[in-house]
Amino acid sequence: MPNFSHLSHFRLLVIFTPVLSLLSGCSDPIFYKNTKASAISTSTYTTNYPIPDEYLNEKLQPNEKKLAQEISTVIEESIRKEYAPGKALRDAHPKAHGCVRAEFHVLKNIPTQLAKGIFVPDKSYQAWIRFSNASNDASQADIEKDARGIAIKVLGVPGQKILESEKEATTQDFIMINHPVFFVNDGQRYLSFMQDVNSKSTLRKLHIPFALGLKGTINALGAHNSKISNPLYVRYWSMVPYQLGLDNDRQAVKYSVRNCSKVSTSLPDHPNHNFLRAALQDTLQKQDACMEFLIQPRTSTQMQVEDAMTEWKEAEAPFYQVATIRIPKQSFDTPEQNQFCENLSFTPWHALPEHKPLGAINRLRKIIYENISKVRHDMNSAPRQEP
């Protein structure tokens, strides 16, 4: 095991909590359908739990459904203890650098095997994008090492969606972080990690690297060890796999987003507390921004959909650009838009069946994300709503 003797239990908490989940969001207060917030019942965990796809090599883990409920309960309890009613924030990624309007344009000429779901050649969608720090501490200075997230909500997507409570929603979400792998593969380690993080015991917090194991600890430290100069110039990965297509034509893929051109930027000499928001704002006041959306098809069953901790090497499974994201010049930092960003949840299960999330971590997310979103909106007396 790595030597953690020089780190306090607080430092361990700061390091490992950021990559806990990829919740983030923003929303337009006009075109919404409201859903009353409430905690998910125990029966919902069983009834709505995803069924593994054996064709794509998914396999249910022991006690997985029960672990999803227990993890969700641990996070819910921590949120209710941490925040007063009306002031609840996301359990992770609470600090946004900004939510921006964007256009998601699918390229005219993409490989036929990738032209599935929303990836209709030459089709354009409007979108919202939220950039964020991953730390659960919304007051953390941007210069601190941390994982960074991007959440994309594509609008105007027809077709019934997977999430039972929002089947008629017209959105498709993509959630990524600036690191290619996750730090756990299974619900038991996830639960143990969450119990350690939320314990008042110093010994339990010092147990975090043991809960994660060697590889998980290395992955968590790798994700945390990041300083960036501008959210627009960072590469992001989905970390976990997704389905692309339906029936016998379906395959396992991962996603990535990167800037359209190589941009060399340096950290400011004396950065202010929220310099990443300022950098984003400064760029978009002067010019449009461009990002590429990439798909990485699995090329071998050795690239396991249940293994979120191992990278699919690009040398063996190349990425293909399928869309361009144009972020036009804009002023986004207003009280109204910042508030509107707080009122919407992002989840990989806001998805068409052609983009079903795969693997244990994604299956756990379905239960955890929906419950935590309902808890947060309920505490804030805010309607849950999708554009």
Least confident interval from 5-19, 112-126, 210-224, 234-248: 5-19
Q: Where are the domains of the chain?
A: 56-183+228-380
Give the pLDDT of residue 85: 92
Q: What is the pLDDT of residue 272?
A: 95
Indicate the helix (H) or strand (E) that contains 67: helix 64-82
9 pLDDT higher than 60: no
Measured distance CA(333)–CA(152) in Å, rounded:
18
Percent of the chain whose predicted confidence (pLDDT) is above 90: 75
- Please choose, from the candidates 266, 236, 271, the residue with its C-alpha nearest in 3D space to the C-alpha of residue 254: 236
61-90: pLDDT as tens digits: 999 999 999 999 999 998 999 899 998 888
For 204-240, the pLDDT digits (tens) are 889 999 999 999 999 999 999 999 999 999 999 999 9
**Whole-number average pLDDT of the chain:** 88
Whole-number pLDDT of residue 91: 83
At residue 47 the predicted structure's pLDDT band, cuts being 50, 70 and 90, is low
Q: What is the pLDDT of residue 1?
A: 34
CA quadruple 39, 40, 43, 47: dihedral, nearest 10: 170
149: pLDDT confidence band, cut at 50, 70 and 90?
very high
The listed CATH number (2.40.180.10, 3.40.640.10, 2.60.40.1760, 2.130.10.30) that belongs to domain 56-183+228-380:
2.40.180.10
pTM passes above 0.85: yes
Residue 199 banded pLDDT, cuts 50, 70, 90: confident
pLDDT, average across residues 3-8: 31
Q: What H or E segment, with its residue span, contains residue 131? A: strand 124-133
Mean pLDDT calculated for residue range 135-164: 95
pLDDT band at 19 (very low <50, low <70, confident <90, very high): very low
The neighbour count for residue 209, using CB atoms within 10 Å, is 23
Query: How far is the CA of 304 from the CAs of 55, 58, 254, 311, 312, in angstroms?
Result: 12, 8, 12, 10, 9
